[in-house]
Amino acid sequence: MAAGFVDTLQLPVFVVMGSMIGYGSLARETGFSLWLALVATGTVWSLPAQMAMAELYTVGASGAAIALAMSLANLRFLPMAVSLTPLLGDGRRGWRYVMIQMISVNTWVGSTRRCPQLPPGQRGPYYVGYATACMIAGLVATAVGYGLAGTLPRAATLGMVFLNPVYFALVFADVRQRAGIIALLAGAIVGPLIHLLAPNWGLVATGVLAGTAAYLIERRLEARHG
């Protein structure tokens, strides 16, 4: 567990803190109490879903509509959870289902890189340490951002919120698989265009189209050179 905690205390934890400072500031401007902002970070644990929650809360949406929007925003975690769960070691299956609730893109990236190199018995503790450090940093940063609300320029607040997607783009750009690079480039091209046409579905549509295009192109290249 200590190894996972220490590994997080590098770039990942600072990206999480920067993003959550931005979220904490926006949460206060939205009208959240500090308690609600912290509970959202600790339980939802997804910046896009938390932003959707804040936006819908502002316009007076119902609790059911807010819950549905957050669930849709967190659908992206399903393939991550499916791919990560088998890597968490030989522990009890029920315990792995509990641990996977701590998943985020940061923890998924860090754990899928490191866990295959560890003995099965060390993978679960490593993941828990890594995820716990990220969550503690997120909670602290949410409180700091909440306290700084109004003192930071709005451009700086929004810039902090967008640290996470920029970091993820850089992480995925570092992958060695050709299909991953193709998907990233395709998403960068079609994403802004789809957002202009259908902003409510832009993220989902971009993922489906870019991922499908990368898969088909990779199959074609393999067939050509195979």
Spell out the per-residue pLDDT of the chain, length 226, in tens. 777 788 877 777 888 888 898 899 889 988 999 999 999 999 999 888 898 888 888 888 888 988 888 888 888 888 889 889 888 876 677 788 888 889 988 888 888 888 889 998 899 899 999 999 999 999 999 999 999 887 877 777 777 777 766 766 666 655 556 777 788 788 889 888 988 888 777 777 888 898 899 889 988 888 877 5
DSSP state of 76: G
**Is residue 69 assigned to a domain?**
yes
CB 165 within 8 A of CB 48: no
The residues, any chain, with a CB within 8 Å of residue 103's CB and separated by 6 or more, are: 77, 80, 81, 84, 131
CA–CA distance, 169 with 184 (Å, rounded to integer) = 7
Say if residue 131 is in the same domain as residue 205.
Answer: no
Which alpha helices (H) appear in the chain, and where do they start and end? Answer: 2-8, 11-30, 34-43, 47-58, 63-73, 77-84, 93-99, 105-114, 120-148, 154-161, 163-173, 178-197, 202-225
Say if residue 157 is in the same domain as residue 51.
Answer: yes
CA–CA distance, 42 with 119 (Å, rounded to integer) = 29
**Is residue 125 assigned to a domain?**
yes
Say if residue 64 is in the same domain as residue 97.
Answer: yes
Say if residue 159 is in the same domain as residue 185.
Answer: no
Tokens representing residue 88 in the block: 């968490």
Half-sphere exposure of 149 (CA within 13 A, CB side): 18
Q: What predicted TM-score, i.e. pTM, was given to this entire model?
A: 0.78
Say if residue 53 is in the same domain as residue 126.
Answer: yes
Specify the number of domains making up the chain.
2
Residue with tokens 């499908």: 212
Say if residue 105 is in the same domain as residue 197.
Answer: no
Question: What per-residue confidence (pLDDT) applies to 97?
Answer: 82
Question: What per-residue confidence (pLDDT) applies to 174?
Answer: 56
The residues, any chain, with a CB within 8 Å of residue 64's CB and separated by 6 or more, are: none
CA–CA distance, 212 with 226 (Å, rounded to integer) = 21
Residue type, 161: V
**Is residue 217 assigned to a domain?**
yes
Say if residue 132 is in the same domain as residue 184.
Answer: no
Say if residue 32 is in the same domain as residue 125.
Answer: yes
Say if residue 140 is in the same domain as residue 186.
Answer: no
What's the domain range around 10? 2-163
Residue with tokens 């998924």: 108
Say if residue 118 is in the same domain as residue 215.
Answer: no
Residue with tokens 């609730």: 101
Question: What per-residue confidence (pLDDT) applies to 195?
Answer: 83
Tokens representing residue 165 in the block: 């997607």
Question: What per-residue confidence (pLDDT) applies to 42?
Answer: 92
Say if residue 127 is in the same domain as residue 180.
Answer: no
CA–CA distance, 153 with 149 (Å, rounded to integer) = 9
**Is residue 39 assigned to a domain?**
yes
